[in-house]
Copies of this chain bind each other. A is one copy, B any other.
């Protein structure tokens, strides 16, 4: 069991049987040491892949994206929600479905920040249905760049995102994969 799995068992809170709250160490308060541990594993997994840029999505991907980018020695770009059109009209835009809020929201990246020569590692805190990931993949594709892989802190293995991304051939690394919640217990894959 790795440091993230241990911390999920120690400080994660299960609400209503299937909502995992990790706001004391991952997405509201952030324990930097967990991000560093994950970034070290990401560096091992992608050391042959010549990553040129880390791409994430605001807000909860930014902290983990920052430490992964630092560890790989490349810049971080985060896709913005509700990007101010008047400040930068040259954008790649896509629409992401929110499983939690049952709606769609636009996310965008300034065109100048991803070039066709970029080899992009997508990073996020959670993977559930994969909607945010596929949105970021769409942006990378619009730029004509390459998706080198995807790194996730917590994958919900009982939802479809991980299965679909692997079936589509993406190199996906998840630091912790939750198989299911059984009788209020968290079972890892």
Contacts and interface: CB of A to CB of B under 8 A. Distances in A.
A28 B78 contact: yes
Nearest to A112: B24
B76 A32 contact: yes
B113 A31 contact: no
Nearest to A32: B70
A65 to B, nearest CB: 8
Contacts of A28: 77-78, 80, 109-110, 113
Interface string A88-125: 10000000000010000000011011000000000000
Given A21-B87, A59-B62, A32 B69 contact: yes
A66 B62 contact: yes
A67 interface: yes
A69 to B, nearest CB: 6
A63 interface: yes
Nearest to A35: B66
A23 B88 contact: yes
Given A59-B58, A59-B59, A66-B67, A77 B29 contact: yes
A68 B25 CA distance: 16
Nearest to A101: B84
A47 interface: no
B32 A110 contact: no
A12 interface: no
B69 A30 contact: yes
A9 B74 CA distance: 22
A19 interface: yes
Interface string A15-27: 1000101011100
Given A28-B77, A28-B78, A63-B76, 7 more contacts: A23-B88, A30-B66, A32-B70, A36-B70, A62-B66, A66-B66, A67-B70
